[in-house]
Amino acid sequence: MQVVPPWREPVPRDRTMGEPRARGRFGEYGGRYAPESLVEACRQVDEAFREAWADPGFRGDLARLLAVHAGRPTPLTPARRLSDALGVELYLKREDLTHTGSHKINNVLGQALLATRMGRRRLIAETGAGQHGVATATAAALLGLEATVFMGERDIERQALNVFRMRMLGAEVVPVTTGSRTLKDATSEAMRHWVGATGDSHYCIGSVVGPDPYPWMVREFQRVIGDEARAQCAAELRTGVPDHVVACVGGGSNAAGTFAGFADTSARLVGVEAEGGAGAARGRLGVLHGCRSLFLQDDDGQITQAHSIAAGLDYPGVGPEHAHLRDLGRARYVTVSDDEALGAAVRLARAEGIVPALESAHALAWVIRAAGDGDLPAGSTVLMTLSGRGDKDVSTFKELL
């Protein structure tokens, strides 16, 4: 296991989080490892995205959707009582307050709008806990598209409410019965299905993973988190730029979007993973779902199953740009246990009146630990992205009370 030391040198600025190099490379990670027909489909998505992202008309349409449908901009909330207790100044970027309750909607509205621009009539998506599936079903309904969501049979049993929400929104939910019947298998199945449907369907990936251009495109659609937070911090923080910027990491989309707003500043970037899903902190080089990155593997190089109390962190790898940021030393990746995350969720609920998603509670658990052991010096200003609200996790919280 690699132990990443705290920063001893000035934080390197401005070297990261622009466009990837040729063929979607972030350092030695990324790429487009897909069957021939998907390579062509990815090339079309890449071309369409580049055009759209350079088009003020597309940007304007997306900004308007994010404002009138998703509730952006989201507030920056000072966590006053918790800050007093911890001896740091903690600010929360409130993605939990978006429509559908997590940052996933930012990416999905972008991709759904891109799909209509490409003349596609259907969205294909994978989902684990169902958050990305619900966001995709929501965007599809809004823009008059069909939605087909692949979901592992085990997750369908565990996440009945989100399955119902997707069906209520008019999406087709396809049970995946292969392998461990969870997110990894649902993603494989969705990609397989896309092979036969590239002409009329867009594959809407839910995080900064998968073949090029997805890791880059999804980060750009999530950049709105970091860009808004940057301006809000400039207006409201004593230090202008926060000393630390913290976010939880599953595949890494809310963290990438947040980090993108601060990559050129002196802020120290911290990604917090689940102990049982620590692709960036503990993974090894491999290829999965069309992308070269860091994955949890056994001694034979087989990708192993992730285990986290937070379904959104239950992915055995991490997006290629995070692997690269880790190698550069621009971001640091740390891990938190299930129990620490549960404790942090209860603490936030009772100190600030906010019930966080279990995923987001991982980021807070690190802040609490680091404020205690001096990793976060007293008086530091900390921006933390609260990626989602905890309603979906009530059955887990119930066990605690």
Active site (annotated) includes residue 387: yes
Catalytic position from the list 207, 253, 308, 387: 387
Active site (annotated) includes residue 89: no
User: Containing H/E element for 274?
Assistant: strand 268-274
Taking the complex as a whole, how short is the minimal distance between the CB of residue 250 and ligand PLP, in angstroms? 3
Nearer to ligand PLP, 267 or 357 (CB): 357
Number of residues lying near ligand PLP (CB under 6 A): 17
Name the residue with the smallest CB distance to ligand PLP.
388
The vertex-258 CA angle with 43 and 313, nearest 5°, equals: 80
Q: Does residue 360 bind ligand PLP (CB under 6 A)?
A: yes
Q: Does residue 283 bind ligand PLP (CB under 6 A)?
A: no
- Up-side HSE of residue 324: CA atoms within 13 Å toward CB? 23
Q: Does residue 83 bind ligand PLP (CB under 6 A)?
A: no
The backbone torsions φ and ψ at residue 303, rounded to the nearest 5 degrees and listed phi first, read -70, 130
Q: How many CB atoms lie within 10 A of CB 88?
A: 22
Task: With contacts defined by CB under 6 A, name the span among 143-151, 165-173, 250-258, 367-375 that binds ligand PLP.
Answer: 250-258
Q: Does residue 16 bind ligand PLP (CB under 6 A)?
A: no
Query: What distance in Å separates the CA atoms of residue 35 and residue 21, rounded to the nearest whole number?
Result: 21
Three-class HEC string of 152-210: EHHHHHHCHHHHHHHHHCCCEEEEECCCCCCHHHHHHHHHHHHHCCCCCEEECCCCCCC
Q: Indicate if the alpha-carbon torsion angle 58, 62, 64, 69 is positive or negative.
A: positive
SS3 label, residue 103: coil
Q: Select the residue interacting with ligand PLP from 93, 94, 104, 184 (CB under 6 A).
A: 104
Nearer to ligand PLP, 83 or 207 (CB): 207
Query: What distance in Å separates the CA atoms of residue 160 and residue 165, rounded to the nearest whole number?
Result: 9
Nearer to ligand PLP, 43 or 154 (CB): 154
Taking the complex as a whole, how short is the minimal distance between the CB of residue 253 and ligand PLP, in angstroms? 3
Three-class HEC string of 339-398: HHHHHHHHHHHHHHCCCECHHHHHHHHHHHHHHHHCCCCCCCEEEEEECEECHHHHHHHH
Footprint (CB under 6 A) of ligand PLP, residues 291-320:
312
Q: Select the residue interacting with ligand PLP from 131, 138, 258, 381 (CB under 6 A).
A: 131
Nearer to ligand PLP, 252 or 276 (CB): 252
Active site (annotated) includes residue 126: yes
Q: Does residue 388 bind ligand PLP (CB under 6 A)?
A: yes
The site string for ligand PLP over 230-249 (x = CB under 6 A, - otherwise) reads ------------------xx
Q: Does residue 251 bind ligand PLP (CB under 6 A)?
A: yes
Taking the complex as a whole, how short is the minimal distance between the CB of residue 52 and ligand PLP, in angstroms? 21
Taking the complex as a whole, how short is the minimal distance between the CB of residue 85 and ligand PLP, in angstroms? 24
Q: Does residue 359 bind ligand PLP (CB under 6 A)?
A: yes
Closest C-alpha among 97, 90, 39 to residue 66: 97
Q: Chain-centre distance of CA 362, in angstroms?
A: 13
Q: Chain-centre distance of CA 381, in angstroms?
A: 23
Catalytic position from the list 83, 93, 95, 126: 126
Q: Does residue 133 bind ligand PLP (CB under 6 A)?
A: no
Q: Does residue 106 bind ligand PLP (CB under 6 A)?
A: no
CA distances from 264 to 139, 211, 261, 284, 330 (A): 32, 26, 8, 28, 10
The site string for ligand PLP over 203-232 (x = CB under 6 A, - otherwise) reads ----x-------------------------
Tokens of residue 166, six digits: 């997707």
Q: Do 214 and 352 touch, CB atoms closer than 8 A? A: no
Q: Does residue 100 bind ligand PLP (CB under 6 A)?
A: no
Q: How many CB atoms lie within 10 A of CB 287?
A: 13
- Catalytic residue numbers? 104, 126, 387
**Residues at the site binding ligand PLP, with contacts judged by CB under 6 A:** 102, 104, 131, 207, 248-254, 312, 357, 359-360, 387-388
